[in-house]
A and B are shown apart, each in its own frame.
Chain A
């Protein structure tokens, strides 16, 4: 469609490299550059020494590596990295953390003197805290000139200050973003889940309680640092051409600031939304996107998986597997132009071509008739292998062309696009078709998936797009759990950081066998299966290739 080729080129450019594609950032202050990238105002790398490991420099010792983008630090194993935002550095001494009017951060301490510019300079240069005690051995001793020091301290003072967008004393505002090319049925299914989840969240029987402090803590929740706030959902439904989405999003955000975007639904192009969130420092937690931009160094959007791009890699590996019987020389891919399969087909073609396999792509117009599809299939006999990036309606129509007439040795199907085990694959195609399956097998995930399914059923939510609805429920659950760990510390960057660390502990991972994230990891589930149907009818699957992480 209109922007499709540009989008594809952009996606392809980012492939294979974890850092190939990054949204443009606004100009940063000298302090911010030091903090985030370990570069001095002169452009030279930040230099430091550490008791263990000796001299070191550059991005490896940038403050962000341990204290994180939020400046709120972290706990990792037995390591405790304290918060270093102005609010925590410059608070007065308290015997107990509870007495300090500070939002709760598990690695903070209150029983030391407030820093001054002079003692903070000493801490950064010599590793001595405000009480005169040595800082932890992991803390580098930085060689910073006066001007750079001033810039860094100014940045720390500013970090985490100011209002947090979308957070009031009583309400947490969230958005969910739907692009105009998103499937309307999935969109309805997703919104049903979200609206119900938010309604349930808000009916939790906490009576309103008086505020104790400016941070919004309440009398009831003091001991737990829980802040009792209602969740409010704003649906940002984009319209028109992709070139106008950024403007629409900016307008939506200006009208109603939100703490984060949650779930959401894209069509084949999510790039403008991803870029917007990155530029606006707006967390976007687990949107339903089949073609996510692969930009692991970007911070603000977390995805469940690489979607059809992961499927393309799974299929590529299987096709070019050595010793897999007769070798594959030619592949035909069929997809509809402008649908998610186009990007996946380009990735697969690039990988296979590089491995010496001839690939022919047949792009059907998005509104082309089934006859056009059948015509394309009749040419498939010339190829060893057929790869189908098709939706259920097209898959159902395959029955009109008997398998024998097409006759390639193997057929691959996108599970994500085709409906996974519910793909309406005709009987004659079933024994020869492998389905990319970037989820856990139904037998393994039954308990984890039944939980949301029963939740939908009890609440009379129609099941219209199971995979999207289950993922949406999972995204809401991850948000709720992360917020519970954050207590009353509401900061956008901290939300992303806490999601990264929390997600690995979570048992309820929905349809995914395992979810993990870290700095530089933006796709929580990394692999997939290849499966076949066990019989001529029904949804029972057999494994063709065990869970594989494409290399």
Chain B
């Protein structure tokens, strides 16, 4: 529909925040900053085809993105960069708490964080970052060539032109499933948990 390789079928849109996203600065308006008190979270079900690109995992190994995503576990994915000072730390903190709250289900979920600043984010820097956020064994960070990172970002509709324009986004998928839950906005750990448990239930 929009592109050859992926179809976009919105089966459900739920607004979990207090109000819909108001885009500051749109239509020539002066930006209203403090009105972002609302925390719009939009969940969509979308089909994505995972691009066949090679990434470099935080342990320095070259890996295939589809292979990393098809290892029998559910996947929870986000995009970060390690020198982001504003909201990546919050996204990563949310991932850590989500991973901890998974409890025994932790083994069934693969958390993946792909760098959108791969030239800066070497495997060593990703390891430091993962350590800072106390990432458990089931949570890996990925870098690679700029082209590979861009391919991954584009495939999941996460590309915003440059790293400074990124927006909070989490994607999750049951093991082997074709469709993804796309969560735009800042979901809390418990919101992620509730989405993920639904996926694990059908897995």
The contact of A518 among B37, B83, B123, by CB within 8 Å, is B83
**Bound CA span A78–B120, Å:** 23
- Cβ-defined contact, A79 with B87, below 8 A: yes
Q: Contact check, A504 vs B36: say whether CB atoms are below 8 A apart.
A: no
Partner of A52, one of B85, B117, B188: B188
Q: Is the CB of B120 within 8 A of A516?
A: yes
Cα–Cα, bound, A516→B160 (Å): 15
Q: Please measure, in the bound complex, the distance between the C-alpha atom of A520 and the C-alpha atom of B33, giving whole angstroms.
A: 26
Contact present for A107 and B166 (CB under 8 Å): no
Residues of B close to A60: CB separation below 8 A? 89
B86 touches A79 (CB 8 A): yes
Interface status of A373 (Cβ within 8 A of chain B): no
Instruction: Find out whether the CB atom of B37 lies under 8 angstroms from the CB atom of A136.
Output: yes
Counting CB contacts under 8 A, is B178 at the interface? no
A109-140 interface with B by 8 A CB criterion: 109, 112, 129, 133-138
Is the Cβ of A77 less than 8 Å from the Cβ of B166? yes
Provided the pairs A514-B146, A518-B117 are in contact, do residues A133 and B86 lie with their beta carbons within 8 angstroms? no
Q: B195 on the interface (CB 8 Å rule)?
A: no
Q: Min CB distance, A82 to chain B, in Å?
A: 4
B124 at the interface (CB under 8 A from A): yes
| Chain A contacts for B124, CB-based, 8 A | 551
Using an 8 Å CB-CB cutoff, how does the interface string of B49-79 with A read, 1 for contact, 0 for none? Answer: 0000000000010000000000000000000
Per-residue A-contact encoding for B122-150, CB less than 8 Å = 1, 0 else: 11110000000000000000000010000
Judging by beta carbons under 8 Å apart, are A65 and B86 in contact?
yes
Residue of A nearest to B118 (CB): A549
Give Cα distance in the complex from A520 to B117, angstroms: 13
Q: Which of A68-76, A453-461, A483-491 participates in binding chain B?
A: A68-76
For chain A, what secondary structure do more than half of its interface residues adopt (helix, strand, loop), or is it mixed?
A: loop
> Cβ of B4 < 8 Å from any Cβ of A?
no
Contact of A77 (CB < 8 Å), options: B35, B167, B187: B167
Given contacts A79-B86, A107-B33, contact A549 B119 (CB under 8 A): yes
- Is A2 positioned at the interface, with any CB of B under 8 Å from its CB? no
A516–B86 CB distance below 8 A: no
Q: Given A504-B164, A516-B163, A526-B120, A78–B23 Cβ distance below 8 Å?
A: yes
| A51 contacts chain B at the CB level, 8 A cutoff | yes
**Cα of A18 to Cα of B32 in the assembled complex, Å:** 36
State which of B5-13, B90-98, B105-113 sits at the interface with chain A. B90-98
When A518-B120, A527-B119 are in contact, do A107 and B31 touch as well, CB less than 8 Å? yes
Q: A76-B87, A80-B25, A134-B37 are in contact. Are A514 and B122 (CB under 8 A)?
A: no
A81 at interface, CB cutoff 8 A: yes
A81 to B25, CA, bound (A): 12
Contact between chains at A73 and B33 (CB < 8 Å): yes
Q: Is B85's CB under 8 angstroms from A519's CB?
A: yes
A521 partner, pick from B23, B120, B165, B187, beta carbons under 8 A: B120
Q: What residues on A are CB-neighbors of B35 within 8 Å?
A: 133
- The chain A residue with its CB closest to the CB of B133 is A60
CA A370 to CA B10, docked complex, whole Å = 73
Flag whether A221 is at the interface (Cβ < 8 A). Answer: no
By beta carbon, the residue of chain B nearest A111 is B32
With A76-B86, A526-B119 known as contacts, the answer to whether A112 contacts B164 (CB < 8 A) is: no
Check if A52 sits within 8 Å of B94, measured CB to CB: yes
Among A58-106, those with CB < 8 Å from B are 60, 64-66, 73-82, 96-97, 106
Number of interface residues of B (CB under 8 A): 46
Q: Is A505 close to B, CB under 8 A?
A: yes
Is B15 on the interface with A (CB-CB < 8 A)? no
A414-461 contacts to B, CB under 8 A, are none
Most-contacted residue by chain B among A56, A79, A107, A526 (CB, 10 A): A79
Q: Which of B32, B94, B122, B146 contacts A109 (CB 8 A)?
A: B32
* Contact assessment for B33 and A65 in the assembled complex, using a CB-CB cutoff below 8 Å: no
Centre residue among A65, A73, A78, A549 by max chain B CB count within 10 A: A78
Q: Which of A64, A78, A501 contacts B167 (CB 8 A)?
A: A78
Structural contact, B86 and A505, CB atoms closer than 8 A: no
Specify which of B87, B120, B188 is in contact with A138 (CB 8 Å cutoff).
B87
Q: What's the Cα separation between A59 and B94 when bound, in Å?
A: 17
CB of B146 within 8 A of CB of A79, answer: no
Q: CA of A106 to CA of B32 in the docked complex: distance in angstroms? A: 9
- Residue from A50, A77, A138, A551 with most neighbouring chain B CB atoms (10 Å): A77
Q: How far is the CB of B49 from chain A (nearest CB, A)?
A: 25
B140-177 residues with Cβ-Cβ distance < 8 A to A are: 146, 160-167
In the assembly, what is the distance between CA of A113 and CA of B90, in Å? 29
CB distance from A186 to the nearest CB of B (A): 28
CA gap between A551 and B56 in the complex, in Å? 11
A205 on the interface (CB 8 Å rule)?
Answer: no
CA gap between A518 and B122 in the complex, in Å: 15
Docked CA distance A138–B87 (Å): 8
Could you tell me the distance in whole angstroms from the C-beta of B169 to the nearest C-beta in chain A? Answer: 10
- When distances are taken between beta carbons in the complex, the residues of chain A under 8 Å from B36 are 79-80, 136-138
Most buried by B among A51, A97, A138: A138
Instruction: Write out the residue numbers on chain B whose beta carbons fall within 8 Å of the beta carbon of A65.
Output: 85-86, 89
* CB nearest to A83 among chain B residues: B33
List chain B residues, Cβ under 8 A from A520.
83
Is there an interface contact between B97 and A54, defined as CB atoms closer than 8 Å? yes
Q: Which residues of B contact A80 (CB under 8 A)?
A: 24-25, 31-33, 36
**A131-177 interface (Cβ within 8 A of B):** 133-138
Q: Which 7 A-B pairs have the closest CB atoms?
A: A136-B36, A134-B37, A82-B33, A518-B83, A80-B33, A77-B167, A504-B162
Give 26 pairs: A residue, B residue, CB < 8 Å, sorted on A.
A52-B94, A52-B187, A53-B97, A54-B97, A60-B89, A64-B85, A65-B86, A77-B165, A79-B86, A80-B24, A80-B36, A96-B30, A107-B33, A109-B32, A109-B33, A136-B36, A137-B37, A138-B36, A138-B87, A516-B117, A516-B119, A516-B120, A516-B162, A518-B81, A521-B83, A527-B119
Binding site for A on B (CB under 8 A): 21, 23-25, 30-39, 60, 81, 83-87, 89-90, 93-94, 97, 117, 119-120, 122-125, 146, 160-167, 186-189
Q: A129-B34, A516-B163 are in contact. List 13 more A-B contacts (CB 8 A).
A: A51-B188, A52-B186, A53-B188, A76-B165, A79-B86, A80-B32, A81-B86, A109-B31, A112-B34, A137-B39, A520-B83, A549-B119, A551-B124
